[in-house]
Amino acid sequence: MKRTAAQVWQRGLGGLLALVVAAVLLAGCGSGSSKPPAAQSSSTTSGSAAPSTTVHYTASVVAQAKVPSVAVFDTSTATTPYKTLPSPQPSGSPLVFLVQGGEGSRLHVLLPIRPNGSTGWIERNDVNLSQHDYRIVVALGARQITVYKGDAIFDQEPIGVGTKDTPTPGGTYYTKELYKPPNPNGPYGPYAYALSGYSDVLTDFEGGDGVIGIHGTNDPSAIGHDVSHGCIRMGNPGITKLAQTLPLGVPVEIDA
């Protein structure tokens, strides 16, 4: 997969944010062949869990890989990893996880892999940590997205969701990548988030692996309807507002 250079700038939480040009498809994120090509990441470093102490995070904590390959263990004490995940990701974006808690030298994280909802344990020393207070709630029945900053509503608006045959899967995910398509007037709009979840019915889509996302659209009439292959379609002003403000690693609760 051919990639071009990255554009890097500073924003929010004192973290490092990057756009990396890539060719990665989201499941059902539009018609045609446009591919969202720029990925974003963020990171800062904050303290570490004390040995032999269980930690439960009340705010959202994001772990960004600082090593080329992150070992994933099935328990906090397992000696052999059952999986390794490369960083950067195939798109060129650094690997990020949403932290669920910690024990000893390891963090319990939500993983961006199949099956949806997979978790594992990673070494604290393999990642940098950042913290934020954003979260996203998607109500499929109401076809509405609500973005919170703390207890306050940051944005709320109607959305397009998956059809009966290719539904948007319910569950808890997080934003793992942000793409900036070359044509802001294309089917993905000006920005597209890739989530850590995957379609339940599509294992590939136009060369991609069926990952679901949140993105803009070139068809505003589709908003408020069941129209996609699993992705969530927003109006372009809304997705732009999110892309210009939110870090990566924002939890996304999709209420089926």
Sign of CA pseudo-dihedral 236, 233, 133, 66: negative
Same-domain pairing of 125 and 181: no
132, 156, 182: which is the final residue of a domain? 132
Confidence (pTM): 0.81
Residue 80 lies in a domain: yes
With H, G, I as helix, E, B as strand and everything else as coil, classify residue 124: helix
132, 163, 192: which is the final residue of a domain? 132
231 is catalytic: yes
Strand order in the sheet with 192-198: 152-158, 144-149, 134-139, 251-255, 171-179, 192-198, 211-215, 232-233
Question: What is the residue-level pLDDT of the chain in tens, covering all 256 positions?
Answer: 323 222 222 222 222 222 222 223 455 455 433 333 445 444 333 344 444 456 655 689 999 999 999 999 999 999 999 999 999 988 888 899 999 999 999 999 999 999 999 999 999 999 999 999 999 999 999 999 999 999 999 999 999 999 999 999 999 999 999 999 999 999 999 999 999 999 999 876 555 689 999 999 999 999 999 999 999 999 999 999 999 999 999 999 999 7
225 is catalytic: no
Same-domain pairing of 61 and 12: no
**Per-residue confidence (pLDDT) for residue 9, from 0 to 100:** 21
Number of domains in the chain: 2
**Per-residue confidence (pLDDT) for residue 34, from 0 to 100:** 37
132, 161, 191: which is the final residue of a domain? 132
Closest by Cα among 169, 180, 192, 173 to 250: 173
Q: Which candidate in 108, 132, 215, 229 is catalytic?
A: 215
Strands 226-228 and 211-215, by their bridges, are unpaired
Strands 152-158 and 144-149, by their bridges, are antiparallel
**Per-residue confidence (pLDDT) for residue 43, from 0 to 100:** 39
